[in-house]
């Protein structure tokens, strides 16, 4: 089974070089999701809860955590996801990563990147990475919820948006989205966001952000 994970995909797009097949790990987590919350989600027996996404966009992820206050570790990670195969498999894999062994330290769990999840899944087709980026955000939202509940305000990290282009009010999140949508160059991003067209001063920063997000989601 391990060998087949590393096997080259049998179909590759000859123009983009992109593979369009799911790995055995993705299929396994998609068809047999782990750590799913099966009872009514209104339950209060969990210590923290996080939700991200919107049904209009086609992805919603909701996670519930049990946290050991003494060891500062995640004891249990339960979830539900509305979304495609990548989204479901990514949340399932995340749940395993966070709760395996003794459970992950909260500080480490806060640092999980989409890339870490896709690596454990043996990779995702490029354009499906978009569908998998919500899992870690939902997890962070839940941990922040725990910090708030337990009054550990100093540990809360705010993920606020920052305006890059004063004219169009384009934010770093807009650029992140554009990169996730497939934009790789300034021209691509401008097509989607119009960033920097009336405010060229911000272009160096935009280019830096494109490099950063490309690296974050698609780099090795």
51 binds other proteins, rule: CB under 8 A: yes
Q: What is the DSSP letter of 167?
A: T
57 is catalytic: yes
Choose which of 48, 60, 65, 106 interacts with other proteins (CB under 8 A). 60
SS3 content of the chain, % helix, strand, coil (to 5): 50, 15, 35
The Cα–Cα gap between 140 and 97 comes to 14
Q: Which is nearer to other proteins, 75 or 127 (CB)?
A: 127
Q: Does 36 bind other proteins (CB under 8 A)?
A: yes
Footprint on residues 110-149 left by other proteins (CB under 8 A)? 127-128, 130-131, 133, 137
**Which member of 17, 55, 151, 162 binds other proteins (CB under 8 A)?**
55
Tell me if 92 sits within 8 A of 135, measured CB to CB: no
User: Can 84 be counted among the known catalytic residues?
Assistant: no
The tokens describing 74, both together, are 């995640």
Report the alpha-carbon angle 155-157-160, nearest 5. Answer: 160
Nearer of residues 46 and 73 to other proteins, judged by Cβ: 46
87 touches other proteins by CB under 8 A? yes
- Is the CB of 21 or the CB of 119 nearer to other proteins? 21
Separation of alpha carbons 118 and 36, rounded Å? 19
The owner of tokens 């119009």 is: 194
CB of 119 to other proteins, least distance (A): 21
Question: What is the Cα–Cα distance from 102 to 20, expressed in whole angstroms?
Answer: 35
Residues 166 to 185: which contact other proteins by CB under 8 A? 171, 173-174, 176-178, 180-181
- At which residue do the structure tokens 């050991």 appear? 68
CA distances from 141 to 10, 41, 51, 164 (A): 38, 17, 7, 24
Binding-site ranges for other proteins (CB under 8 A): 30-31, 33, 36, 38, 41, 51, 53-62, 80-88, 127-128, 130-131, 133, 137, 159, 161, 171, 173-174, 176-178, 180-181, 192-193
Residues forming the active site: 57, 131
């Amino acid at each position: 089974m391990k060998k087949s994970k590393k096997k080259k995909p049998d179909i590759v797009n000859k123009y983009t070089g992109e593979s369009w097949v799911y790995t055995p790990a993705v299929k396994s987590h998609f068809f047999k999701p782990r750590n799913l919350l099966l009872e009514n989600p209104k339950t209060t027996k969990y210590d923290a809860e996080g939700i991200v996404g919107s049904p209009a966009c086609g992805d919603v992820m909701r996670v519930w955590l049990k946290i050991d206050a003494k060891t500062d570790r995640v004891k249990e990670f339960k979830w539900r996801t509305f979304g495609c195969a990548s989204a479901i498999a990514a949340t399932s894999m995340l749940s395993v990563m966070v709760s395996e062994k003794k459970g992950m330290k909260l500080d480490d769990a806060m640092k999980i990147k989409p890339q870490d999840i896709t690596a454990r899944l043996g990779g995702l087709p490029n354009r499906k990475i978009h569908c998998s980026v919500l899992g870690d955000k939902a997890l962070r939202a839940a941990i922040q919820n725990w910090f708030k509940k337990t009054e550990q305000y100093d540990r809360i990290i705010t993920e606020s948006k920052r305006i890059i282009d004063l004219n169009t009010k384009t934010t770093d999140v807009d650029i992140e989205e554009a990169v996730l949508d497939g934009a790789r160059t300034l021209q691509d991003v401008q097509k989607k966001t119009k960033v920097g067209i009336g405010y060229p001063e911000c272009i160096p920063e935009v280019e830096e952000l494109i490099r950063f997000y490309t690296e974050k989601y698609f780099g090795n």
